[in-house]
Amino acid sequence: MPTLASLALATFFLLVPLTPSVASVLQVCVGPAGALLAVAPSAQCPRNHGKVSLPVGASTTVNYYTVQRPTELVGPGTITAVTVSCEDGDRVVSGGYVHTKDQPNLQVSGSAPTGERGWLVQVQNFSETLSYELVLYARCERLTP
């Protein structure tokens, strides 16, 4: 007996013409018990179903790279916001920072994405005399060829 998934795929191949050089997308409604229903791109899913788009024939390889910002010096008694950015046209997926070890006077109050391409870290140096080093990183998804 064929499974619902194979029936959905069979329906897709009957409804959508594929050529080797053209990537297509399979639109599937997923029911509460995992039942699959292939639908036209403009069709609505039945109640209590979620719609999922699955690439067919396209490369699903995703390329990531890491950007490291040169070391930033956080001066005494300062609040600093530092950013690192992905290359033009690409998207930030995560980020972070490393600061000088065992520095109780350095407090990071935020580390989050900023826009589509950047990662921002906000830090405060409570020391009145010492500067601390801060290095930022962004993990980027390559969207450009």
- Could you give the number of structural domains in the chain? 2
- pLDDT for 4 equals 41
- Please write the tens of the pLDDT for every residue from 41-86: 888 888 877 777 776 765 567 799 999 999 999 999 999 999 999 9
Residue with the bigger pLDDT between 17 and 60: it is: 60
Residue-number span of the structural domain to which 32 is assigned: 4-56
| Boundary of a domain, candidates 13, 30, 56 | 56
Is there a single domain that holds both residue 69 and residue 136? Answer: yes
The radius of gyration of the chain from alpha carbons, rounded to an integer in Å, stands at 24
Is there a single domain that holds both residue 51 and residue 68? Answer: no
- pLDDT for 55 equals 67
List, in order, residues 6 or more apart from 88 with CB less than 8 Å away.
117, 144
Q: 3-class secondary structure for 93-125?
A: EEEEEEECCCCCCEEEEEEEEECCCEEEEEEEE
List, in order, residues 6 or more apart from 83 with CB less than 8 Å away.
69, 114, 118, 119, 120, 121, 136
Residue type, 13: F
The number of CA neighbours under 13 Å toward the Cβ of 102 is: 0
Asked if residues 3 and 35 have their Cβ atoms less than 8 Å apart, the reply is no
- Asked which of 15-19, 83-87, 131-135 is least confident by mean pLDDT, the reply is 15-19
Is there a single domain that holds both residue 25 and residue 76? Answer: no
Does the pLDDT at position 23 exceed 60?
A: no
- pLDDT for 58 equals 55
Is there a single domain that holds both residue 78 and residue 35? Answer: no
Is there a single domain that holds both residue 81 and residue 19? Answer: no
- pLDDT for 90 equals 94
Is there a single domain that holds both residue 46 and residue 82? Answer: no
Does the pLDDT at position 30 exceed 70?
A: yes
With CA atoms as reference, report the closest residue to 120 among 88, 97, 91: 97
- pLDDT for 61 equals 74
Residue with the bigger pLDDT between 27 and 32: it is: 27
Is there a single domain that holds both residue 29 and residue 89? Answer: no
pLDDT, mean of residues 110-132: 94
- Please write the tens of the pLDDT for every residue from 83-119: 999 999 999 999 999 987 778 899 999 999 999 999 9
pLDDT, mean of residues 108-135: 94
